[in-house]
């Protein structure tokens, strides 16, 4: 299995621009998670989906952030407009759901907003 | 709410030394517990897990036992290698199936 695939791996953009991060979960997994990692805050869960439906988006920092999962094999996290404080590594993870489930992480997208 | 507390790093050891990284948790009920490892520039990888009290998770020489009495899940390895240098995260799965992570502990193993 290819594992969780994320693109792009690195993104450099200017403040105010729209940024779209992409994720392809492991086939057969029905849960998908978006995390953000920074030195100051560590790992934060932004949002998670179950069977393509957003279950909990309480971690999304503000309205500039949005996430979609149009089908079982694709999800996007969008930041519009981007700000320098959004600079972080964004991870996507997928899992098979249920108690004791293991989440499998992608390699991450390193975002730098200038 | 649920939370995980890990010992502060970095932890610096010589090769073949014994490793312990402490992890304690606060949770409602008995959550599944995990250790993830992150190598430089990479995503998190599952190292081991335990789903109920007294379970021992093990992998690649690492072990951790789910201790309900002390609400702990300490990570141990008898003889570390340079290749074990990484950041280690303790985590619990809460009742909403969300992972709650500790702040991470950086391990540096010197030859």
Give tens-digit pLDDT for A48-106.
999 999 999 999 988 999 999 999 999 999 999 999 999 999 999 999 866 668 899 99
Q: Rounded CA gap, A12 and A95, in Å? A: 29
Q: Do B43 and A4 touch (CB under 8 A)?
A: yes
Q: Do A42 and B42 touch (CB under 8 A)?
A: no
In chain A, what residues touch B97 (CB-CB under 8 Å)?
31, 48, 50, 97-99, 101
pLDDT higher than threshold 80 for residue A44: yes
Structure confidence at residue B1 as a pLDDT band (50, 70, 90): confident
Q: Rounded CA gap, A103 and A33, in Å? A: 8
**Closest CA of chain B from A82, distance in Å:** 23
Give tens-digit pLDDT for B42-72.
889 999 999 999 999 999 999 999 999 999 9
For residue A85, the tally of other CB atoms under 10 A from its CB is: 11
Q: Phi and psi dihedrals of B35, rounded to 5?
A: -120, 125
Instruction: Give contacts of A 95-114 with B, CB under 8 A.
Output: 97-108
Structure confidence at residue A23 as a pLDDT band (50, 70, 90): very high
A97: nearest CB among B43, B97, B98: B97
Compare B35 and B30 and report the one with higher pLDDT: B35
Please report the pLDDT score of residue A97 as a whole number.
67
Q: Span B1-9, mean pLDDT?
A: 90
Query: Rounded to whole angstroms, what are the CA distances from A65 to A77, A83, A110, B52, B94?
Result: 7, 11, 16, 36, 24
| HEC profile of chain B | CCEEEECCCCEEEECCCCEEECEEEECCCCCEEEEEEECCCCCEEEEEEECCCCCEEEECCEEEECECCCCECCEEECCCCHHHCEEEEEEEECCCCCEEECCCEEEEEEC
Q: List residues in chain B touching A: CB distance below 8 A.
A: 32, 34, 36, 42-46, 49, 51, 89, 93, 96-99, 101, 103-104
Token pair in block for residue B61: 């020489």
Q: Do B43 and A103 touch (CB under 8 A)?
A: no
């Amino acid at each position: 299995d290819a594992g969780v695939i994320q693109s792009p791996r690195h993104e450099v953009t200017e403040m105010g621009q729209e940024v779209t991060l992409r994720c392809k979960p492991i086939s057969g997994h029905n849960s998908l998670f978006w995390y953000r990692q920074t030195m100051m805050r560590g790992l934060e869960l932004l949002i998670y989906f179950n069977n393509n439906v957003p279950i909990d988006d309480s971690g999304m920092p503000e309205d500039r952030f949005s996430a979609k999962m149009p089908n079982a094999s694709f999800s996007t996290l969008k930041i519009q407009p981007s700000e320098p404080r959004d600079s972080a590594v964004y991870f996507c993870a997928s899992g098979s759901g249920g108690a004791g489930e293991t989440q499998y992480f992608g390699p991450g997208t390193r975002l730098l907003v200038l | 709410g649920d939370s995980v507390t890990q010992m502060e790093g970095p932890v610096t050891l010589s090769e073949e030394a014994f490793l312990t990284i402490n992890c304690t948790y606060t949770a409602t009920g008995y959550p599944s517990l995990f250790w993830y490892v992150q190598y430089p520039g990479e995503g998190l990888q599952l190292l081991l897990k335990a789903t109920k009290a007294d379970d021992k998770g093990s992998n690649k020489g690492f072990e951790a036992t789910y201790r309900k009495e002390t609400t702990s899940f300490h990570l141990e390895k008898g003889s570390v290698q340079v290749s074990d240098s990484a950041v280690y995260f303790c985590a619990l799965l809460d009742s909403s199936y969300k992972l709650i992570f500790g702040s991470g502990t950086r391990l540096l193993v010197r030859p």
